[in-house]
Amino acid sequence: MVGLEMLIRIYPEKRTEFLQAFEMLTILDHLGDRRIDLNLFEQVKEPNVFLWLEHWDNDESLGRYYQEHKFKALMGAVEILGSLIYKRSFLIEEKSTC
C-alpha cells in the first residue's frame, strides 16, 4: 500500500469553498480508482492548514492518478484557493501482529 500526503494552506476567505470542493470530491469519487481511503485533517494550532491524506492499493494506481484530469484539477484548485506547502508519497509497510 502507498500513501499520498499533501499539506495545504488555504486562504481564510476561501476556506468554505475548499471544504465544499473536498466534500464534492468525496461524494463524486466512488473510490473506483483503487484509492482505499481519503481523509482531510486541519492543524489545531494553524487554522486553514490542512493535511490531505490518501491511501492507495499500489504505486502504479497512484501513478495513474497523478496523470488523471481530476488530480490536475485538484492541484489547480489548490493554487487558486491557497498554496501547496508540500506533497509526498510514501510506502506503507503492513506488519502482522501475530
- The grid coordinates of residue 74 equal 485538484
Question: Please, which residues bridge with residue 55 across strands?
Answer: 3, 37
Report DSSP state, residue 32. T
> What does the pLDDT look like over 66-77, one tens digit per residue?
998 888 988 999
Burial 55-87 (b: 16+ CB within 10 A, else e): ebeeeeebeebeeeeeeeebeebbeebbeeeee
CATH number belonging to the domain at 2-91, selected among 3.30.1020.10, 3.30.70.100, 3.40.50.10480, 3.90.1150.10:
3.30.70.100
> What does the pLDDT look like over 43-82, one tens digit per residue?
999 999 999 999 999 999 999 989 988 889 889 999 999 9
Instruction: Please report, for the chain, the start and end positions of each structural domain, with discontinuous segments joined by +.
Output: 2-91
